[in-house]
Amino acid sequence: MPSMTSKGIIILIFNNYHITMKKLMILAAASAMFAACGHNASTKHVADAQDSTTANVDSMFYEGLLPAADTYGIRYRLALSSDSTAGFSLEEAYMKSETKTELVSHYQGKAVVKHSKDGAKTYYVLPTEASDSLRFLVVNDSTLRMVNDELEEPVGSQLNYDIKLVK
């Protein structure tokens, strides 16, 4: 058996410690990555857990990339039930670029249909959080436009707030 000097023992201990620390750092980084991806990449919110009525096969599908202040844009994919249930399923994806997603949220529930006082305009109000909703004006048979809390369209903006029928 070869003899070990104290310097050799210290190097051996350091190498084992280095390998163990490296494994621990990789494990910690992997755990953090999985935790971050599980938390930020896809969060699911159910607006009305009591109501299992959501968009079904007989749905109208809308999609569009809307402007956002701090990101490339927000891509909306909306399925609205075309029957009397008024169910919806919405995917809201915050985009880093045209093809890269930063954060995705999913919402399901029952859309509330509202009409203007004169009955000329129709709006869909989609509950997304306990105290928040998205609102869309029906522009025509193939276009919905995002509006504010007072159901007002963007004024003086050259930005596109429309989502278009895709099916």
Digit-coded pLDDT (tens) for 122-148: 999 999 987 899 999 999 999 999 999
Predicted local distance difference test score (pLDDT) of residue 125: 96
Predicted local distance difference test score (pLDDT) of residue 157: 81
How many whole angstroms separate alpha carbon 22 and alpha carbon 34?
18
Predicted local distance difference test score (pLDDT) of residue 130: 78
pLDDT tens-digit readout, 83-102: 888 899 999 999 999 899 99
Confidence of residue 5 (pLDDT cuts 50, 70, 90): low
pLDDT tens-digit readout, 101-111: 999 999 999 99
Predicted local distance difference test score (pLDDT) of residue 43: 39
pLDDT tens-digit readout, 7-20: 544 444 445 444 45
Adjacency order of strands within the sheet including 59-66 = 42-46, 101-110, 87-95, 73-81, 59-66, 162-165, 143-147, 132-140, 122-129, 112-115
pLDDT tens-digit readout, 27-82: 444 444 444 444 333 334 443 433 444 444 678 999 999 999 889 999 999 999 98
Are residues 111 and 79 in contact, defined by beta-carbon separation less than 8 angstroms? no
Which residues in 13-165 belong to E strands, given as ranges? Answer: 42-46, 59-66, 73-81, 87-95, 101-110, 112-115, 122-129, 132-140, 143-147, 162-165
Predicted local distance difference test score (pLDDT) of residue 108: 95
Predicted local distance difference test score (pLDDT) of residue 167: 66
Predicted local distance difference test score (pLDDT) of residue 162: 96
Predicted local distance difference test score (pLDDT) of residue 86: 87
Confidence of residue 155 (pLDDT cuts 50, 70, 90): confident
